[in-house]
Structure 1
Amino acid sequence: MRIVFLFSAWLLSFGALAAPGDVATLDRSTWPEQLSNPTLFDVASRAEILMFARVLLASESLDDASLAQRLGLRTINPDAVNRLRQRMWQRLLTNYNFAQQSCDQDASWCYLVEDMATLRQQAAKFQVSADSYYIKWSEPSRLFHAQYLDEQLRKAALFPQTSSEIDRFGDYERNGEQMHDRLFLLTFDSAANAAPDNTAWVTEYLRKANMTGTFFVLGKDIQARLSDRSVANLQATYSAQCIGVQGWEFRSHSYWQDWQDSVRRSAELVKSKLPENYVPLFRPPDGQRRSDAQGFFRSQGLQVALWDIDAQDGAGKLKANQSAQRVLTLMLLWRHGVINFNIKQDGVKTAMPWLVTQTALSGIGWEDCQDAFR
């Protein structure tokens, strides 16, 4: 009876959270331990997985009309929502199995999870006692995961009419779901902002840290840079890094009549001027692209490069520290994936180094950009 009561209370609280459009972030100082070794990374990972699983399970009690109201939508695509939930459950199960491999070293948040049924059972009764060492983390984490889940459900509810990174249109599109456990790829979008351009700072930081990232550039930006600097200068800026394209302009490639020319011109320009850095990847601005584009991308030798972990560091969304802490929380939850930063927001110069420092001893790895999406 106690479990039923607690679950009912949780369902009621699920309907009284943030309004649609709020961006999830979590103050990592509420977590009482540093990620100072791989085992402690697993401890924090198990906790975030169980908390998200609890919120995901609670969301399934909502019918389509209630979910649409919660997400601030008139209608939803229930098939896309259900596909997303199924993928999330499968990934949570896989991730928890990885995370519990260190339970013999630290048993915190270690419960019997053998299959999907037992994961759902543990999610249904998951709670943090008032005298727990982790109690200050509990409610902020619940709020984070409920808001984050809303973000993802809303994208799924609108898919494919409004395309986004939430789902793929085919195997010519890639995200980080197939990456190995504890492995992450850094990527950087150009976004719509003309300035500032933090590319030189970020590439220098990565080289000094012996790391790489994939920079998705706009064709018109590269053309403008070549008008006031040499090709050699641009090559030096991107030395040891990878460059994909985001189109000629930062605009939706879903309904733009010239979207093919946008992709083609950008790829040809980068490939001709920066051949050592070029990788055959197209990152759709805001994830928006056509569902019938497979033939075009295959003819161009391109893959569509999506992402799993969004820093939400666009103008006015999150401050640098909030963005960094959001990314770290999602790294603990998903345990691998493609991270998306905005190169034209100054916050990246704070958020990315903080993230690298916080995870330096945690046992994670940073994927080499040349090996990604192969």
Structure 2
Amino acid sequence: MRIALFLCAWLTCLGAQAATVDVASLDRGTWPEKLSSPALFDVASRAEILMFAHTLLASEALDEAALKQRLGLKIINQGAIDDLRRHLWQRLLENYGFAQQSCEQDASFCYLVDNMDDLREQAGKFEVSDQSFYIGWAGPSRTFHQRYLDELLRKAALFPQISSEVARFGDFERNGDELNDRLFLLTFDGGPAPLNGQTDWLADYLRKQKMTATFFALGNSLQTRLEKTSAADVQALYQGQCVGIQGWQYRSHSHWVDWQSSITRSASLTQNLLPENYVPLFRPPYGQRRADSQGFFQAQGLQVALWDIDSQDEPGQLKADESAQRVLTLMLLWRKGVIVFHDTQDKARVALPMLLQATAQSGLGWQECREAFR
């Protein structure tokens, strides 16, 4: 008991320190061009990749003491941080390779990068001159990527004691790495909202746009919605969309005694109520799940569905337009991935149309929900 109490206190302390971070967002108005073609999407993508790579490279000069101070933590998992950095560099190299395929159309931010050494060299000397057309973007972008990198490094520093989407425990966990370039999957957490709330609006909006998303439902919210309406109404709510599970309650599944029951109860309800929509995916609230859970998930026929583009649309985080601009910047940086909003919040109602308008001519695509995570 003493050990358990000490561990809980330690984790609470670390979590409290981790919560003090400034959430990264970037005013896309500082970027002087619309993303009105695939080539212009690539220009902006190359710029964000190089700025993030520059920031990542600079962070490697910090020793452990300096890194602890920067992240505001007393204890860090240096091995997990090193693993994250290797993964980030690999993604950046791959993404820059895709982004430079249009250099013949527009050579802005195009440099000779054939391998990791080339990328690190270009990252080290990357700067935007005062006379550049893009100088208004450079300072805000640098601040964004420093904050965003700190978000990632902090999560890695706490992993696996506090698990998150920043790393996987095995192949039974998916995070969108397998998607093709320029392809994004929309996901929504924490629903369904009360009757005639945000879930209704979002699902209807997606159908009108001929798009699909994966809604990760909470068992208790789904049960409440069922009791206040009917099975037919709930089925109509999610028509054409995919529905995964998020457990019975929106709480961490890493140290909850009843975590398995939470998952099996919500899976049974969702599968029986929505057989046409159900997908065998579990989205852990806060990204927190147990390191030793692979056997359970495999026995249940479930995969853990993580994400890599967080809208930060929860209460107390970003405003709706800031959330949209954060997501768009991360779409340019990562060029593919799983985007997470919350359908109990009203911010996605503003952010999603902004995203679609900003990227309508950029050549990207939206992953059909049933084809994801296969």
TM-score of Structure 1 vs Structure 2, range by shorter chain: over 0.9
Q: CA RMSD in A?
A: 1.3
Summarize the Cα distance change of 1:341–1:85 in structure 2 as closer, same or farther, 3 Å threshold.
Answer: same
Give how far 1:65 is off: 1.2
Partner of 1:142 in structure 2?
142
Partner of 2:10 in structure 1?
none
Which sits farther off after the overlay, 46-55 or 223-232?
Answer: 223-232
Instruction: Please give the alpha-carbon distance, in whole angstroms, between the structure 1 residues aligned to 2:228 and 2:102.
Output: 54
Partner of 2:7 in structure 1?
none
Determine if the alignment matches structure 1 residue 22 to structure 2 residue 17. no
Residue pairs, 1:1-374, within 5 angstroms: 20-190=20-190, 197-374=197-374
Give the letter for the 1:152 counterpart.
Answer: L
Instruction: Please give the alpha-carbon distance, in whole angstroms, between the structure 2 residues aligned to 1:299 and 1:177.
Output: 24
Q: Deviations over 1:70-121 (max 9, x none)?
A: 1010010000000000000000000000000000000000001010001000
Q: Deviations over 1:296-335 (max 9, x none)?
A: 0000000000000000000010000000000000000000
Instruction: Please give the alpha-carbon distance, in whole angstroms, between the structure 1 residues aligned to 2:75 and 2:260.
Output: 31
Query: Contact 2:194–2:225 (CA<8 Å) still a contact in 1?
Result: no
- Unmatched 5+ residue regions in structure 2? 1-18
Which secondary structure state, in structure 1, belongs to the residue aligned with residue 176 of structure 2?
coil
Instruction: Please give the alpha-carbon distance, in whole angstroms, between the structure 2 residues aligned to 1:278 and 1:62.
Output: 46
Which secondary structure state, in structure 2, belongs to the residue aligned with residue 79 of structure 1?
helix
Instruction: Please give the alpha-carbon distance, in whole angstroms, between the structure 1 residues aligned to 2:196 and 2:89.
Output: 39
Summarize the Cα distance change of 1:192–1:164 in structure 2 as closer, same or farther, 3 Å threshold.
Answer: farther
Query: Contact 1:20–1:70 (CA<8 Å) still a contact in 2?
Result: no
TM-score, normalised to structure 2, is: 0.94
Which secondary structure state, in structure 1, belongs to the residue aligned with residue 149 of structure 2?
helix
Give the letter for the 2:137 counterpart.
Answer: W
Query: Contact 2:191–2:221 (CA<8 Å) still a contact in 1?
Result: no
Instruction: Please give the alpha-carbon distance, in whole angstroms, between the structure 1 residues aligned to 2:65 and 2:195.
Output: 42
Which secondary structure state, in structure 2, belongs to the residue aligned with residue 98 of structure 1?
helix
- Unmatched 5+ residue regions in structure 1? 1-18
Query: Contact 2:156–2:166 (CA<8 Å) still a contact in 1?
Result: yes
Instruction: Please give the alpha-carbon distance, in whole angstroms, between the structure 1 residues aligned to 2:296 and 2:159.
Output: 21
Q: Deviations over 1:135-164 (max 9, x none)?
A: 000000000000000000000000000000
Instruction: Please give the alpha-carbon distance, in whole angstroms, between the structure 2 residues aligned to 1:302 and 1:59.
Output: 37
Partner of 1:3 in structure 2?
none
4+ aligned runs moved over 2 Å, structure 1: 191-197
Instruction: Please give the alpha-carbon distance, in whole angstroms, between the structure 2 residues aligned to 1:196 and 1:244.
Output: 20
Which secondary structure state, in structure 1, belongs to the residue aligned with residue 280 of structure 2?
strand
Give how far 1:194 is off: 7.4
Q: Deviations over 1:179-209 (max 9, x none)?
A: 1000000000017987994100000000000
Instruction: Please give the alpha-carbon distance, in whole angstroms, between the structure 2 residues aligned to 1:234 and 1:196.
Output: 11
Which secondary structure state, in structure 2, belongs to the residue aligned with residue 51 of structure 1?
helix
Instruction: Please give the alpha-carbon distance, in whole angstroms, between the structure 2 residues aligned to 1:104 and 1:34.
Output: 19
- Number of aligned residue pairs: 356
TM-score, normalised to structure 1, is: 0.94
Query: Contact 2:186–2:366 (CA<8 Å) still a contact in 1?
Result: yes
Give the letter for the 1:319 counterpart.
Answer: K
Give the letter for the 2:361 counterpart.
Answer: L
Partner of 1:12 in structure 2?
none
Query: Contact 1:65–1:75 (CA<8 Å) still a contact in 2?
Result: no
Summarize the Cα distance change of 1:133–1:204 in structure 2 as closer, same or farther, 3 Å threshold.
Answer: same
Query: Contact 2:193–2:344 (CA<8 Å) still a contact in 1?
Result: yes
Give the letter for the 1:167 counterpart.
Answer: A
Give the letter for the 2:165 counterpart.
Answer: E
Which secondary structure state, in structure 1, belongs to the residue aligned with residue 187 of structure 2?
strand
Which secondary structure state, in structure 1, belongs to the residue aligned with residue 370 of structure 2?
coil
Give how far 1:51 is off: 0.2
Quote the sequence identity (%).
Answer: 64
Instruction: Please give the alpha-carbon distance, in whole angstroms, between the structure 2 residues aligned to 1:152 and 1:206.
Output: 30
Which secondary structure state, in structure 2, belongs to the residue aligned with residue 370 of structure 1?
helix
Instruction: Please give the alpha-carbon distance, in whole angstroms, between the structure 1 residues aligned to 2:24 and 2:195.
Output: 26
Summarize the Cα distance change of 1:250–1:359 in structure 2 as closer, same or farther, 3 Å threshold.
Answer: same
Give how far 1:34 is off: 0.2
Instruction: Please give the alpha-carbon distance, in whole angstroms, between the structure 2 residues aligned to 1:118 and 1:316.
Output: 40
Instruction: Please give the alpha-carbon distance, in whole angstroms, between the structure 1 residues aligned to 2:143 and 2:342.
Output: 25
Give the letter for the 2:41 counterpart.
Answer: F
Partner of 1:13 in structure 2?
none
Query: Contact 2:192–2:343 (CA<8 Å) still a contact in 1?
Result: no
Query: Contact 1:43–1:106 (CA<8 Å) still a contact in 2?
Result: yes
Summarize the Cα distance change of 1:22–1:265 in structure 2 as closer, same or farther, 3 Å threshold.
Answer: same
